[in-house]
């Protein structure tokens, strides 16, 4: 599929629009193009990061459907041949009303993986992907079944220091949504990038937006007159 070159691109005129609308829209278009250039510069800067540290070869748990029981898998075993990068998204469970630890699936994380699961057959052509939680793997597996997830590789980090090591857990054990990229050059796993924007100060009223790159519903809302809104969050059921 070819794209029109910039010299061929002409902003459209839409039925019934006013001159004031077209002037304002073209001013916004310039800002959008500037943001696109900045995003491309950021992507290039991100790709140029030096390699980070070497993580422990954590022993995670995943669900073995043939045995209907957990099995152990090492971080180094999550890399398929020919795929250099591994994305791990840290999925949150919250304490239940009875005080049971990590009992209730986070609606926001659920919304994100609902969408991610659908595009994973495309993404995993190039990148290894896993969804990991501190909760028991049986709990995440059961939640995935209720959501109809078919493609996400599900892991439990229980019994490891992964969440604490990679910013997915606070000192009081509160879970955090984090995305991390690892690579395996020459057979050695190295950390490459994490969504540390979560810890950067945000403007009043703004969310961290550190994992928006894999959560497209917010980009859709951003293009409506109402925007994201301050009082709406995804739910587990509608």
Residue 103 pLDDT > 90, yes or no?
Answer: no
Q: What is the pLDDT of residue 180?
A: 98
Catalogue all structural domains in the chain, each as residue range(s) with its CATH number: 59-196 (3.40.30.10)
Provide mean pLDDT across the span 98-123.
93
**Per-residue pLDDT tens digits for 171-227:** 988 999 999 999 999 999 999 999 999 999 888 877 889 999 999 999 999 999 999
**Per-residue pLDDT tens digits for 59-94:** 999 998 888 899 999 999 999 999 999 999 999 998
Burial of 48: CB neighbours in 10 Å, binned 0-12, 13-18, 19+: exposed
Residue 96 pLDDT > 90, yes or no?
Answer: no
**Per-residue pLDDT tens digits for 125-181:** 999 999 999 999 999 999 999 999 999 999 999 999 999 999 999 998 899 999 999
Q: What is the pLDDT of residue 4?
A: 52
Q: What is the pLDDT of residue 186?
A: 92
Q: What is the pLDDT of residue 95?
A: 83
Q: What is the pLDDT of residue 3?
A: 55
Residue 229 pLDDT > 70, yes or no?
Answer: yes
Provide mean pLDDT across the span 24-28.
97
């Amino acid at each position: 599929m070819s794209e029109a070159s910039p010299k061929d691109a002409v902003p459209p005129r839409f039925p019934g629009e006013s001159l004031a609308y077209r002037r304002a829209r073209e001013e916004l278009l310039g800002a959008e193009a500037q943001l696109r250039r900045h995003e491309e510069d950021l992507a290039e800067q991100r790709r140029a990061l030096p390699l980070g540290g070497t993580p422990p070869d954590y022993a995670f748990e995943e669900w073995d459907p043939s045995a209907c029981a957990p099995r152990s898998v090492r971080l180094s075993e999550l890399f398929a041949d020919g795929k250099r990068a591994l994305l791990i998204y840290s999925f949150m469970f919250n304490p239940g009303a009875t005080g049971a630890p990590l009992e209730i699936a986070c609606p926001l994380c659920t919304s994100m993986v609902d969408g991610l699961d659908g595009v994973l057959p495309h993404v995993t052509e190039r990148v290894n992907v896993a969804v990991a939680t501190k909760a028991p793997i049986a709990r995440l597996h059961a939640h995935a079944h209720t959501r109809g997830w078919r493609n996400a590789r599900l892991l439990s980090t229980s019994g490891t220091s992964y969440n604490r090591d990679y910013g997915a857990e606070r000192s009081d054990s509160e879970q955090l949504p984090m995305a991390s990229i690892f690579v395996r050059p020459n057979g050695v796993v190295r950390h490459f990038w994490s969504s540390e924007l979560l810890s950067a100060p945000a403007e009043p009223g703004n969310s961290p937006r550190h994992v928006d790159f894999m959560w497209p519903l917010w980009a859709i809302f951003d293009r409506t007159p109402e925007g994201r809104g301050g009082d709406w969050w995804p739910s587990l059921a509608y």
